[in-house]
Amino acid sequence: MFDVFIDSFGARWQDPPPPRDRAAVLTINLTNALLNPPDDHALADTVAQQTGQDPEVRAYVLATPGAARIINDAVHQLTALRTAAQGRPVQLLVNCWYGRHRAPAIADAIGHRMRTAGARVQVTHHHINRPPVPRKHPRPGCPFCRIIHDGAPAEIVREWPDALAILPRPDGHGRHGCTDGHLLVLPRGHVADFTVDPVVSATVQLRAAELAGQLGGQWNYLTSCGPDASQTFRRGRRPVVDCRFKASKLRVHDSVRQGDPHAAIAGRAA
């Protein structure tokens, strides 16, 4: 009979573990904590696609600054909760974003410590076998990655830790974009399109809304996924600009990149 249940899961799947019967519950949210292996450019793809139960990934997560403190705090809190529960089971919920790397590694480490202390522990990883996490490191040939990571020239309007806003490249007449005030808001991590990682997509929209609110006026927000959705490519991997008028008489701009058409666009209404 177990008296400690530890459940790891990914918040991205919106399918958290059910509560254990009569259990007192603690939670650890690692969504914005510790280093995430798929985000580390130095790690090989094969390692990034492994899980928190594989030795290399487990060692990577546990060596991250802050991991030892999280584990120690959880062990102390679970021990105190077991005492206060007076025989009732206790449950620890540990989540990261995808539930494949950080949460399983931390949950297993806490479970090992609790077993060593004499607890009867069951550790369950609910989402460890879900699809692999997409990597977001820079891609060769991507003009936006060159701006963000290599210092390629661009007129930067605003920078955040997770995104930046730039003016579109000028055309032959020196005009930036298709209407006055046109801006591109770019994620710092490279993703294939806005469907790949909802957190990245939501972050870019948040930054675009924040900037538009600060600048004032009326704005149109656009993003595209696929050529039939006005994502256009010309000459292989070279990004192009597609400008058009909509029935609402808003000038619309669609700037895309091969392999990364996610860039969100905020354009001021004409």
- State pLDDT tens for residues 70-127: 999 999 999 999 999 988 999 999 999 899 999 999 999 999 999 999 999 999 999 9
C-alpha to C-alpha distance for 133 and 136, rounded to whole angstroms: 9
C-alpha to C-alpha distance for 161 and 48, rounded to whole angstroms: 23
Q: Are 103 and 8 in contact (CB under 8 A)?
A: yes
Find the helix or strand (DSSP H, E) in which 47 lies: helix 45-48
Q: Is the pLDDT of residue 207 over 80?
A: yes
Question: Residue 129 has which token pair?
Answer: 């076998």
**Where is mean pLDDT largest: 30-34, 202-206, 252-256?**
30-34
Query: What is the model's pTM?
Result: 0.65
Q: Is the pLDDT of residue 270 over 50?
A: no
Average pLDDT of the residues of the chain: 80
The per-residue pLDDT for 229 is 65
The per-residue pLDDT for 99 is 95
